[in-house]
Amino acid sequence: MSARLAAELARAVAGPVRRPADPGFSAELAGFQLGLRHRPDVVVGALDAADVRAALRIAGDHAIPVTVHGTGHGMRSAADGGIVLGLRRLNEVEIDPVAGTARLGGGATWAEVIAATAPHGLLPPSGSAAGVGAAGYVFGGGLGLLARSDGWACDHVRSFTVATLDGTEREVGPDDTERFARLRGTGPVHGEVVTAMTVGLLPGGPLQGGGLTFDLGPATAGGDPAVLQAYREWTDALPDDLTSALRVMSFPDLDVLPLPLRGRRIARIAVASRGTAPAAERLVAPLRDAAPVIEDTLAPLRFTESARVHAEPADPGAYIGENLLLGRLDPAALDALAELSGPTMVIMNIRHLGAALARPPAVPDTVRGRDAHYLVSAVSPVDPRVSLADPAAAHAQASPVWALEPFAAARLGTSPAFTAGPRG
C-alpha cells in the first residue's frame, strides 16, 4: 500500500516523497521536539501550495490520515502511519509596506518574517523564540514579545489561505466568522492546512529589551523569594507598553556552565518595552533595588535580535510543557517557587498578561487567557531515548505538572500554546 501511495504522491507533487527506507526520510521529519518522531508511511516535503492541495486530495480520496509537520516546537503526539506533510519549504514572505502587511507561507518561521520586515522598520507580532512557526503560533493565540502593548498575535491576522481534503483552497477571513475565530486561538481541524496567511505588521519606533538575572541561592537549598515577591508587586502597577516574564530554574553543579550559574537557583526577568531607554530604566529601577543583579542586559533593542530578550535555548531538545492561566499571583505560590524541588528538573516561566491582551478583539477569536493576569508554564527536559520508546511512560515519569500545584488556587484555565511534548 505504501509503495503505491508513494508512487501516486510522487506523480502528483513536485517536492520530495519519501518512505521509511528512503534516504532523506528522517531529514524531512526533523524538528525542534526530539522526544517525539512521526512514523508515517510516506512523508511529502511540499514545495508550494499546489503540492499541499495535491497531497491532501490523495489523502482525502483514500481516507488516509494526514499530519502537518511545521517546526515541531508544539508537537504533542507523533503520527503512526498515514501521510506527513512537511511545510518548511513554504517559507516565502512578501511585505506590502503601504498596507503594512506581510503575506507569509504556511511554513514560515518568525525569524524569516523578522528578516523581511526589518528593512521596512515594521515588526511582526512574534514571540520569545524566532524559530517558532508563525502559523502554529497564531493558532494558540500568540503571546508576543510586546504582547501587553500590541495584543494577541492572532488578532493581527487579516486572512488565512486554507487547503482541505478535497484538494481545494479557500480564503478564510472575518466574513467566515466561525472558521476565522477557530483558527485564531484553537487551530485547524484534521485535513485543514494553512498554506499562507496575511498578517498586519506593527509600527517600529524605539524599543528596549533584555534580562535581569538574580541569584536566589544554592540549587540544593530553598532560595530567597524576595525578588519573586518584588516581581509580583512590580507587575501590579506597570504601563501597557512594558511586557515581561520571570523565569526560575536551578542549574546543576557542572563545570561546563558559567561559574555564576553552577549549582545555583537563578531567577531571570525578561523585559521588552516600547519607549525610550530612560523610561525603561525608570520602570525597572524597583527590580534592580530588590536584590543584587548578577547580569543585566537591558539595552536598546533591534528587533532582529529579539531572541536576546528571553534568551531561551535555540537548539532542539526533548521536553514536556504544561501551563496554567492565572487570575492572580499568590505570594505563597512565589514562596513555594523559590524553594521548588520535586521529581523532575523544571524550568518555570511566569508571563505577565493583561493590558492589550485583556481587550475584546475587533473580530471574534477563540483565544484563552483574556481574563488572566499571568500565565505560568513548567517545562521539564526528558531523555529522548525514553520518550521515543514510550512517550506515555515518559510523560508519566517526567511530567512537570507537580510544579504548577502551588499556583492551582488561582487557575482560570490552560493555554494550548504552552502545552507540548510526549504524551503517547
**Where along the sequence are the contacts to ligand FAD (CB under 6 A)?**
68, 70-75, 87, 106, 127-129, 132-133, 135-137, 139-140, 142-143, 188, 193-194, 312, 417-418, 420
> What is the C-alpha separation between 56 and 67, in angstroms, rounded?
10
Q: Which is nearer to ligand FAD, 48 or 312 (CB)?
A: 312
Min separation Cβ 89 and ligand FAD, Å: 12
Q: Which is nearer to ligand FAD, 191 or 263 (CB)?
A: 191
Q: Which is nearer to ligand FAD, 225 or 369 (CB)?
A: 369
Min separation Cβ 137 and ligand FAD, Å: 4
Nearest Cα to Cα of residue 105 among 127, 124, 88, 126: 88
**Are 252 and 263 a contacting pair, CB within 8 Å?**
yes
Q: Which is nearer to ligand FAD, 31 or 225 (CB)?
A: 31
Min separation Cβ 139 and ligand FAD, Å: 6
**Are 346 and 379 a contacting pair, CB within 8 Å?**
yes
Q: Which is nearer to ligand FAD, 294 or 311 (CB)?
A: 311
Q: Which is nearer to ligand FAD, 176 or 312 (CB)?
A: 312
**Are 83 and 40 a contacting pair, CB within 8 Å?**
yes
**Are 32 and 131 a contacting pair, CB within 8 Å?**
yes
**Are 67 and 40 a contacting pair, CB within 8 Å?**
yes
Q: Which is nearer to ligand FAD, 46 or 228 (CB)?
A: 46
3-state class (DSSP) for residue 399: coil
Q: Is the dihedral of CA 406, 407, 408, 409 positive or negative?
A: positive
Min separation Cβ 67 and ligand FAD, Å: 6
Min separation Cβ 266 and ligand FAD, Å: 18
Min separation Cβ 359 and ligand FAD, Å: 17
Which backbone phi and psi does 209 adopt, to 5 degrees? -165, 155
Min separation Cβ 4 and ligand FAD, Å: 25
Rg (CA), the chain: 22
Beta strands in 334-408 (DSSP E): 347-352, 374-381
The alpha helices in 323-411, defined as continuous H runs, are 331-338, 384-389, 391-398
